[in-house]
């Protein structure tokens, strides 16, 4: 009887959270799902149960460019963010007066508002007045100033660099904390066994921080997928759609073209894609954790 009461109390306690999830996650997701299967003309729903929004997308040449750009944005951004974050986190884990100060300073890019970051970088990277292009030219590294955001070949990678600058600090701090929590005796034992610095890092530190590494990778991937303000403010998807990604194209279809059905179809594809990548990543890591455990 007491146990049953406890169970009821537990259900009652989690009820607000369940209600919030239903209202703010499941509800909108269901809505987007149904909209993606609905033909919408001039804001009016004209029939449910159609794949016309998805077929319209596949015949849109911009969509395939968007997919390619999104892959660079999410995969490139996440990979670089985690790798650079791991490097910086490892450095910050070293005990010194400098790293203590840097641990606080490094958060600066992360706490700046998106709009401020985007505007500042936009001007620094500008082809005519940007300080970066002018510095490169004045030091003789380039013959003329470079329009990082106006050149279709450079724009996507430039955005990824700004993204890493913005998102990496938190990744670095999380990994720094994880590295600092690795037991000293394990590292010392490896050292006594003759392991090099790289071997200690690869075979002692990495397995110890595997869970944190997985967590920040998944979180970074979700953050980067949801990032809209940075690319939109810096390039608006241009030039010539060269930096158009899922987030910006969904916005354009919804709020510029009033094409809600197609925008919803893209959101569904985005969701499935992200869930698949995260699911696959978690599956692989779970196996690697299991194998690490069996050793």
Residues that bind another protein (CB under 8 A): 39, 41-43, 46, 56, 59-62, 126-129, 144, 146-147, 149-152, 235-241, 251-252, 254-259, 262
Residue 211, preceding peptide bond in cis (omega within 30° of 0): no
Yes or no: say if 185 and 204 are a contact pair by the CB < 8 Å rule. Answer: no
Minimum distance of another protein from residue 34's CB (angstroms): 15
Q: Which is nearer to another protein, 87 or 152 (CB)?
A: 152
Q: Which is nearer to another protein, 216 or 246 (CB)?
A: 246
The H helix count followed by the E strand count for the chain is 16, 2
**Chain mean position to CA 216:** 10
Minimum distance of another protein from residue 240's CB (angstroms): 4
- Say how far apart CA 290 and CA 163 lie, in whole Å: 33
- Say how far apart CA 162 and CA 175 lie, in whole Å: 20
Q: Which is nearer to another protein, 128 or 291 (CB)?
A: 128
Q: Which is nearer to another protein, 82 or 262 (CB)?
A: 262
Minimum distance of another protein from residue 159's CB (angstroms): 12
Q: Which of 230, 188, 225, 217 is nearest to 288 (CA)?
A: 217
Provide the residue count of the chain.
295
36: tokens are: 């993606």
Q: Which is nearer to another protein, 150 or 207 (CB)?
A: 150
Minimum distance of another protein from residue 286's CB (angstroms): 40
Residue 92 neighbours by CB under 8 Å, 6+ apart: 99, 102, 103, 106, 172, 173, 176
- Compute φ and ψ for 46, nearest 5 degrees: -125, 65
Name residue, tokens 């401020």: 116
Minimum distance of another protein from residue 26's CB (angstroms): 19
Minimum distance of another protein from residue 49's CB (angstroms): 16
Q: Which is nearer to another protein, 255 or 283 (CB)?
A: 255
Q: Which is nearer to another protein, 18 or 129 (CB)?
A: 129
Q: Which of 37, 43, 33, 31 is nearest to 258 (CA)?
A: 43
Q: Which is nearer to another protein, 73 or 249 (CB)?
A: 249
Minimum distance of another protein from residue 200's CB (angstroms): 46
Minimum distance of another protein from residue 239's CB (angstroms): 4
Yes or no: say if 264 and 32 are a contact pair by the CB < 8 Å rule. Answer: yes
The strand ranges marked E within the chain are 38-41, 44-48
- Say how far apart CA 113 and CA 153 lie, in whole Å: 27
């Amino acid at each position: 009887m007491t146990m049953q009461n406890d169970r009821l109390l537990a259900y009652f306690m989690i009820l607000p959270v369940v209600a919030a999830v239903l209202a703010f996650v499941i509800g909108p997701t269901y809505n987007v799902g149904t909209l993606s299967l609905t033909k919408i003309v001039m804001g009016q729903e004209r029939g449910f149960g159609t794949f016309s929004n998805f077929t319209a997308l596949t015949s849109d040449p911009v969509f395939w460019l968007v997919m390619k750009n999104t892959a660079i944005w999410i995969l490139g951004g996440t990979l670089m963010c985690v790798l650079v974050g791991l490097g910086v986190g490892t450095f910050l884990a070293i005990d010194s007066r400098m790293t203590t100060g840097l641990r606080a300073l490094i958060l600066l890019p992360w706490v700046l508002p998106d709009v401020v970051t985007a505007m500042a970088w936009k001007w620094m990277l500008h082809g005519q007045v940007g300080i970066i292009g002018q510095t490169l030219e004045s030091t003789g590294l380039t013959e003329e100033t470079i329009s990082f955001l106006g050149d279709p070949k450079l724009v996507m990678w430039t955005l990824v660099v700004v993204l890493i600058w913005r998102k990496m600090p938190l990744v670095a701090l999380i990994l720094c904390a994880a590295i600092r929590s690795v037991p000293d005796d394990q590292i010392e034992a490896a050292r006594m066994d003759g392991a090099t610095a790289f071997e200690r890092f690869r075979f002692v530190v990495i397995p110890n921080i595997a869970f944190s590494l997985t967590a920040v990778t998944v979180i970074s991937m979700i953050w980067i997928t949801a990032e809209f303000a940075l690319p939109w403010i810096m390039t608006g998807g241009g030039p010539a759609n060269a930096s158009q990604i899922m987030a910006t194209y969904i916005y354009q279809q919804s709020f510029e073209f009033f094409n809600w059905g197609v925008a919803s179809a893209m959101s569904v594809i985005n969701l499935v894609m992200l869930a698949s990548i995260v699911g696959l990543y978690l599956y692989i890591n779970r196996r690697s954790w299991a194998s690490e455990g069996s050793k």
